[in-house]
Amino acid sequence: MSYAITHCLHLIQPYIGNILLILFDRGFYSKELMYELGELKIPYLIFAPKTDFIKGELEEMNPKETKLIKHEYELNRDKSNFSFETFVAFLKEIYDKRLEKDIDWAFATNVEEIKLDEIIKTYKKRWRIETGFRVQDEAEIKCKSKEMKIRYFIFVFQQILQTQWVCFYKEDASFKEFIIEMQKTCKDLVTHPNKRYGKV
C-alpha cells in the first residue's frame, strides 16, 4: 500500500506542485505509510482506528478535551527495525452535527502545528470523496471477477460516465437519471442501428 501511494504521489507531484496535506481514512493507518510519507516530507492526516493505545489515551481525557502528543512507532521491514516519531491528535467527546452525538476522534499526523480546533473540519473535506464513490456506484456495474484488469476497466468506465454527467448533465438530472437515460438510448441504438438522434 505504501509503495502504491508514494508511487502515485511521485507521478502527480510535478503537475500539482507542493502538497499541503493528504487526508486518509482509518484503512490507511499504517506504520509503513506514515514512515514513508515522513521520509518524503509529505504532510498527512490519518484517521486512527481505536487501538489499545488510542483507547487508553482517550480514557484518561475529560469530555471536550483535546491534545497532541508525540508517539514513537517501531517498524519491522526487510529484516530491519526502524524507529520513527509522529504526532497523534486526540479529541474527546466532540459533538458531531451529522450523527447528532458526541464522538471520540484520533488522528495521526506529521504536522506539529496542526490546529486541533479545526482538525475535524479539515478531515471532513475528504468525505466528498466518499460521496463521489457513492454516486459512482449508482452506475451499478456488477462484477465478481478478481482479475485486476477487468475491475480496473469497470472503475475507469464508471469514472468516464460520472465525468460526462458532471460536465454536461449535472444541472438537468441526477446521476441515476442520467444512467437510466443512457441505458435506454444505448438499447434503442442496438434495436434501431440506423436511427438518427438530433441534427445531422
- Give the integer Cα–Cα distance in Å for 121 and 182: 37
Cut 0.75: pTM above it: no
Dihedral sign (CA 41, 55, 94, 66)? negative
Q: Are 42 and 4 in contact (CB under 8 A)?
A: no
My answer on whether 74 and 53 are in the same domain is yes
User: In 3-state terms, what secondary structure has residue 18?
Assistant: coil
Give bridge partners of residue 47 from the DSSP assignment.
107
**Residue 71: pLDDT over 50:** yes
My answer on whether 120 and 178 are in the same domain is no
**How many domains, in total, are found in the chain?**
2
Q: Is residue 196 part of a domain?
A: no
The residue among 96, 126, 156 that closes a domain is: 126
Residue 60's pLDDT is 93
My answer on whether 118 and 145 are in the same domain is no
pLDDT in tens, 16-53: 888 899 999 989 999 999 999 999 999 999 999 999 99
**Residue 198: pLDDT over 70:** no
The residue among 126, 151, 180 that closes a domain is: 126
Range of the structural domain that residue 147 is part of: 138-191
The residue among 126, 154, 175 that closes a domain is: 126
